[in-house]
């Protein structure tokens, strides 16, 4: 290959890339929102379960950031940009249930579960929609679903009767 030749950034069909990005973008935005709102919850949790919930929320925030990165990098690997700036996340992600101030651990856990449920709806739509479009992108969505469902289970276990 001569120095004048270039290699395109993706071998993917542009139509496939656009369709995959259509399904993965809401997932990225929701996860970025969970990263921000989960940290807000982490700082303001109160109650008898403070330490456990405080530390668990840090883990969930870290996972959300990792999941967002995985989905965003898949979009970029397909040759498309992703806009996950704070203003875009605020405009396009589902509204959070996490309040601005101090909140009891049980209430806050339920709020974070509600936020995760909203993201899981987008993730499940991605899993279903990507089935006939791009199996590699679907695999990304499946892995995110698995991880979010595990984090949700850990939270539910804190408030289960």
| 32-43 pLDDT tens trace | 999 999 999 999
Query: pTM of the predicted model, to two decimals?
Result: 0.92
pLDDT confidence band for 127 (50 / 70 / 90): very high
In the block, tokens 């996490």 appear at 98
- From CA 69, how far away is CA 38, in angstroms rounded? 16
Contact present, 65 and 8 (Cβ < 8 Å): no
| Inter-residue contact 82 to 156 (CB < 8 Å) | no
Q: 156: Cβ–Cβ under 8 A, 6 or more apart, which residues?
A: 113
Please state the φ and ψ torsions of residue 95, each to the nearest 5 degrees.
-65, 140
pLDDT higher at 86 or 6: 86
Question: In the predicted model, is pLDDT for residue 93 greater than 60?
Answer: yes
Q: Rounded mean pLDDT of 40-60? A: 96
Q: Is 116 helix (H, G, I), strand (E, B) or coil?
A: helix
Scan for tokens 């456990």, then name that residue. Answer: 52
Phi, psi of 96 (to 5 degrees): -80, 155
Q: Is pLDDT at 11 greater than 70 in this prediction?
A: no
């Amino acid at each position: 290959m001569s120095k004048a030749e270039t290699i395109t950034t993706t071998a993917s069909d542009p139509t496939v890339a656009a369709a995959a990005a259509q399904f993965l973008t809401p997932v990225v935005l929701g996860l970025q929102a969970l990263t921000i709102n989960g940290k807000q919850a982490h700082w303001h949790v109160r109650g008898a379960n403070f330490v456990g919930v405080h530390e668990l929320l840090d883990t969930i925030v870290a996972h959300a950031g990792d999941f967002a990165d995985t989905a965003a990098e898949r979009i970029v690997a397909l040759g498309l940009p992703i806009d996950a700036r704070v203003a875009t996340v605020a405009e396009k992600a589902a509204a959070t249930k996490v309040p601005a101030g101090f909140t009891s651990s049980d209430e806050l856990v339920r709020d974070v579960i509600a936020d995760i449920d909203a993201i899981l709806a987008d993730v499940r739509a991605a899993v279903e929609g990507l089935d006939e479009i791009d199996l590699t992108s679907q695999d990304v969505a499946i892995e995110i679903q698995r991880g979010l469902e595990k984090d949700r289970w850990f939270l539910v276990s804190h408030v289960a009767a």
